[in-house]
Structure 1
Amino acid sequence: MPRLRANDIEQDKIARFERIKKAITALEKQQKQILKQGDLAPEGAWVARYQVSQNRKKYWYYKLQVPTPSLPCATSSKLSKYKHLGKAGTQEHIDAVMSVFRRSVWDEIQRIIHTLDDCLLDISSGSEQEEEEAQD
């Protein structure tokens, strides 16, 4: 296989750079679509199921939970780790589940964009091809 000339190598770099930029643009467009669908849950949030016993009966409820207090309390001006959502299938429950889903998709897209940004740096800085250090 013949060696590539300097011009061919530069053209290849430009083409790869442009493909990555195009992919990043598509991912950012996806993020905008996600935001149009509704709110994102706070980072690290999840929907938890819990049980309450009352008058010898057991009831299941749901809550939005976060690792650090960031949710407004219904009864005070403090922040809480929990937001009561009620029973399964209530509008608040479904909204919370979907906001957690949107957050997870958003975060995954953001991780991919960061990875592709690193690829752009490799291409533009020339660090994708480095000389190995001689070993003794």
Structure 2
Amino acid sequence: MPKPRVNDSEQDKTARFERIKKAITALEKQLAQISKQGDLAPQGAWVARYQVRQNQKKYWYYKLQASTACLPRATSSKLSKYKHLGKAGTQEHIDAVMSVFRRSVRDEIQKIIDTLDDCLLDISSGSEQEEEDPQD
């Protein structure tokens, strides 16, 4: 099998670099679209279901919950770990669910962009093919 010429490998690198750049551009457009769709939930927040018992009846409610106090309170300037959303299907409940969804999608897209950025570095620095150190 003939050895690839230097020019062929440079063209291959350039083509791969351009494909990765095009993918990053498409993903960045997706990030912009997600931002336009509405608010993002705080990092690490989720929607939790909880039960209240009153007069021998059970009621189910929902809250936006975070591991740290980052949610605004309605009655004071302090931050809270919880935001009451009410019953299933209320506008606040749906908005919170969608904000958590957007945050999750945004985070995953950003991870992919970061990975592709690393690929660009590998291609441009020539570190995708390195000599191994000889083992003793």
Q: State TM-score, norm by structure 2.
A: 0.98
Distance 2:41 2:28 in 1: 19
Distance 1:70 1:2 in 2: 62
Distance 1:79 1:94 in 2: 22
Distance 2:108 2:24 in 1: 13
- List aligned pairs for 1:57-72, cutoff 5 A: 57-72=57-72
1:38 equivalent to 2:38? Answer yes
- List aligned pairs for 1:1-136, cutoff 5 A: 1-136=1-136
**Count of residue pairs brought into register by the alignment:** 136
Distance 2:115 2:85 in 1: 36
Distance 1:11 1:133 in 2: 28
Distance 1:74 1:54 in 2: 24
SS in 1 for 2:64: strand
Structure 1 gap ranges (5+) = none
Structure 2 gap ranges (5+) = none
Residue 55 of structure 1: how far off its partner (Å):
1.0
Residue 3 of structure 1: how far off its partner (Å):
1.2
Residue 2 of structure 1: how far off its partner (Å):
1.6
Percent identity, aligned pairs only?
85
SS in 2 for 1:62: strand
Residue 50 of structure 1: how far off its partner (Å):
0.3
Runs of 4+ in structure 1 over 6 Å off: none
Q: State TM-score, norm by structure 1.
A: 0.98
Residue 7 of structure 1: how far off its partner (Å):
0.8
Q: Which amino acid aligns with 1:66?
A: A
Distance 2:113 2:2 in 1: 35
Q: String of CA shifts for 1:26-59, please: whole Å, max 9, x gaps.
A: 0000111111111111111100000001111110
Distance 2:14 2:3 in 1: 18
Give the superposed CA RMSD.
0.6
Distance 2:44 2:21 in 1: 29
